[in-house]
Amino acid sequence: MVILTLNCGSSSAKYQVYDWDARDILAVGIVEKVTVGGSFINHKVKGKEEITIEHDCPTHTDAVDLIIKTLTSKEHGVITDMGVIKAVGHRVVHGGDKFTKSVIVDDNVMKTLDEVKDLGPLHNPANIMGIEAAKKVLPNVPHCAIMDTAWHQTMPPESFLYAVPYEWYEKYGVRRYGFHGTSFLYTAKRAAVLLGKDPYKTNLIICHLGNGASVNAVKDGKSFDTSMGITPLEGLIMGTRAGDADLAMPFYVMRKTGMSAAEMESALNKKSGLLGITGKYTDRRDIQKATLAGDDRARLAQDMEAHRVKKYIGGYQAALGRVDALIFTAGVGEFAFFMRKKILDGLEGIGVVYDPAKNDLAHTRNTETIISKPESKIPIYIIPTDEELVMTEDAYALMAGTYDVHTKFTYSFQSKDYVNKGRAEGLKEELVKNPELKSIIATPK
């Protein structure tokens, strides 16, 4: 039995093919430049080199069709026909406050997603197009929507409400929703395993740091507060997003420049953040190279990003009272040891003490690592996220009729014996090249 997961962006379609019976990934890939011209697919089959095929995809339907043709091709495919695909899981960025868990897509779900698309104008239209495209290509299997916002529906009002006229919340749904929920769910459950604790007696601060970034305060195994807001713009400094800023600042700049509301929205989402500060970089590796080469604005961008994360860590520790672990995840959190250093330096006063040598070693997606010193009151884990696995398990359980909200549902990765086969194989190869990595591998208590 095969489960297909799709993550459709405005100009891309990312996918994974998972063999449920073997509990193994068969293929992963992404179609780039959908709708904009010059489209191509990067396709990686287990045990083989990644390939790139150029193919025009003027619509998301064309992109999904290309994915299916590639998966079933004699030369590059991993399945013989579409009949083996029994469910499709779709990432949906914004579900508003209408969904507390993943759901099978029907007409009512599509109607609701359309109603809340204004809350996620940069993401939801593409997510909806991806679902519609996949349903055309695969009409006879259940399609499941996995909501980024669902995880955060446990936040209390003091966390999710803004201090604005209350009727804005009542009439227009103005509130904090939060995102990266699938990643936070995975890392929170894995952290509980590593700590040897009941997940619903576990308090965590999780830093999901990538091009998009947010921090999540987890109290008793549930989302308690998070840095992103009504949209993914609020919170941390990101690749192109400004994050927290004075609400009056856009109006001031608009009066000075004559910018329209649409132009300001674009500037804050697509021209700010690290790009705005450096003038040219969003990738932390490029910023690090520029910093080492003496670029003052690149150094400033790093310092600003780290400072913002520190403030959230300290604030969430105060809000939680007790913190069982600090977690780093996602591309930057997992690999950018130089950014973790800037974030962790100076946190000794709140009981967070990291080992610089261990931190330098930790840049892998193949295993969970621990980089805190023994005397650290709060252990520091790096947990490679696996959003696709959450999507896959949700889709399978929805199809099988066994799914429920995460507080009443147990995932395979909540077991001490859970093994990601692909990552385990990658770790073996990595340990040959870097045997010291073994010294920081985290194991369940």
Q: Catalytic positions, please?
A: 148
**Could you tell me which residues come within 8 angstroms of residue 340 by beta carbon, excluding any fewer than 6 positions away?**
328, 333, 354, 359, 362, 371, 382
Whole-angstrom distance, CA of residue 308 vs CA of residue 158: 21
Helices 337-344, 284-292: crossing angle, 10 deg rounding: 80
CA 376 and chain centroid, separation: 27
Return the biggest CA–CA distance within the chain.
61
> Closest by alpha carbon to 95, among 5, 161, 173?
173
Q: What is the CA radius of gyration of the chain?
A: 22
Cβ pair 264, 271 in contact under 8 A: no
